[in-house]
Structure 1
Amino acid sequence: MKRMIWPPLYLLMAGFSAACGGKNTAAHVEAPGDEKPAVDKALTVGADVLQNKTPLKKFSAYLDGFHFYNGNLNAQMEAHHYVNQINEDLYQAIIFDGNDDDAKIMGVEYIITPKLFKTLSEEEKKLWHSHHHEVMSGTLIAPGIPEAAELALMKKLVSTYGKTIHTWHTDQHRTLPLGAPMIMMGFTKDGQLRKALVEERDKRFNVSTEKKRKDREDIPLPDVDPLANAWEKGQVRQLMITDKADSAQHKHQGPAPKEP
């Protein structure tokens, strides 16, 4: 049997209005800087025509959901994910603060199946969050595709885990990507995500989170690894900037290069 990657129903997307799945959410910040000069515009057009962008073409799925800063449940924001499936068990996503032409890259997310999650060390698992509640609550959506295709996709995502890092904190109205990158988490229970955020998102996309919740009631709820969502147990892991030397190398930078 041929394994399913993305649900084949994605082919039905043809003919759907672009407004259903994009260009309805402006970027949160306006970056400083002079207007792009004519020569740069010409170079951009030329590069768009002449250069190959194979890696970017693979980011074919669009998901919209919500994150919060690990260790700060009250700092919440909407996140627009453009996803590339590498294989049956591994996905990667570029996260933007909007879906229009001026959207800013906020960060990245890596998504893995339980099969790969089981191979992680105990400490590594604490950096990851589950997607079970995001799917079952209806707050994670795939804008613009038919409901049947979205449901098939959610059945695949419900048991997965994500590791998310934001590099540009546009929710704080920072016009440049300042400060340390931050590890993000996903919501795990009702009442955590601010209702106003969901209502405003639903209005823009003309969707109903409550309807999606009901439509997904029959999706089997997976067993969640107890080491994921470590913030729930007060085990918060977060990145920070430091100028303190740690012997010949910083621990977070990995092994030192071998001598030639």
Structure 2
Amino acid sequence: MASTVGREGKTAGEGMTMKEHVIEKGAEMMQSMKPIKQFSQHVCTFALYSQDMNRQIETHHFVHRLNEDFCQCAVYDTDNRDGRLIGVEYIISDRIFEALPLEEQKLWHSHFFEIKSGLWVNPRVPEAVAKPELDKLAKTYGKFWCTWQTDRGDLLPIGEPSLMTSPLGEVAGNVKAPLLQQRDEKYGISSTKISDSRVDITGPALINPNADYWIKHGKGFAIDIVTAEMKKITPLP
């Protein structure tokens, strides 16, 4: 299988031709791309596979806030131009989360520890500028589906999606030191110092125990792809 080499890894397929680059530029000039242009925030953090805490990845979330209670994120494996889209995360306020059915709440993770500990950062943005948004996000919950497991070397987004969770400081959910060090060195930051500067950030009045399901139950969620009976199109009368 042919593959192109990006800055962070490989992707199946041949390199783009000059003609294709010209076509892309032309389309970019003529089309509005309005939804894409709404992504105004870049977050670098870490995610763990909910069914295997040993598998941990650095993630780059490009965030579009739709309203005070809801954000949507395109998640990449790097912030370089050759970054691969590896999933999507939805972020909701604690107010919205509390109204979800119990079974749905189990699929979501809290963000308070991730932000408070300095794992969640906005690269190249001064903390003073990021602080108001961090105060809001510390009270939110996220649901992150990973659709491309690049950490195991996949050249394509193959197989079933995986539900991801947030690091929470528990022994099983700590971010591995080399992974954190690599990220901090890349951006010239100290997660420890960032954490110290966030002492006044507060989370929800109570982090709902139905979130972060693995903390209480020691279990994650995995998807199995099964064959299902297809519903036929109902003819119009």
TM-score (norm 2): 0.90
CA distances 1:77-123 after superposition (whole Å, capped 9, x unpaired) = 00000000010100000000001111000100000001100110000
The aligned residue for residue 212 of structure 2 is 229
Matches of 1:101 and 1:161 in 2, distance apart?
Answer: 28
Matches of 2:218 and 2:119 in 1, distance apart?
Answer: 24
1:189 aligns with 2:169: yes
| Number of residue pairs matched by the alignment | 227
The aligned residue for residue 15 of structure 2 is 35
The aligned residue for residue 119 of structure 1 is 99
Shift of 1:248: 5.0
1:95 aligns with 2:78: no
Matches of 2:180 and 2:40 in 1, distance apart?
Answer: 24
The aligned residue for residue 108 of structure 1 is 88
Question: Among residues 185, 190, 194, which one is paired with 1:212 in the alignment?
Answer: 194
- Measured at CA, do residues 258 and 113 of structure 1 come closer, stay the same or move farther in structure 2, by a change above 3 Å? farther
Matches of 2:63 and 2:234 in 1, distance apart?
Answer: 35
- Measured at CA, do residues 225 and 51 of structure 1 come closer, stay the same or move farther in structure 2, by a change above 3 Å? same
- Measured at CA, do residues 234 and 37 of structure 1 come closer, stay the same or move farther in structure 2, by a change above 3 Å? same
- Measured at CA, do residues 91 and 258 of structure 1 come closer, stay the same or move farther in structure 2, by a change above 3 Å? farther
1:152 aligns with 2:135: no
Runs of 5+ in structure 2 lacking a partner?
A: 1-5
The aligned residue for residue 139 of structure 1 is 119
**Mean CA deviation greater in 211-220 or 161-170:** 211-220
TM-score (norm 1): 0.83
Matches of 2:49 and 2:234 in 1, distance apart?
Answer: 36
1:79-94 alignment runs, 5 A limit? 79-94=59-74
> Percent identity over the alignment?
33
Matches of 1:257 and 1:60 in 2, distance apart?
Answer: 41
CA distances 1:190-234 after superposition (whole Å, capped 9, x unpaired) = 551111111110000011100011011121243200100011213
Amino acid at match of 2:226: T
1:238 aligns with 2:222: yes
Matches of 2:13 and 2:203 in 1, distance apart?
Answer: 48
Amino acid at match of 1:115: R
Question: Among residues 65, 68, 92, which one is paired with 2:48 in the alignment?
Answer: 68
1:203 aligns with 2:181: no
Shift of 1:69: 0.7
CA contact (8 A) 2:139 2:202 kept: no
CA distances 1:160-191 after superposition (whole Å, capped 9, x unpaired) = 00000010111111111111111100011255
**For the aligned residues, what is the CA RMSD?**
1.7
Matches of 2:222 and 2:202 in 1, distance apart?
Answer: 32
The aligned residue for residue 38 of structure 2 is 58
CA contact (8 A) 1:127 1:163 kept: yes
Amino acid at match of 1:78: E
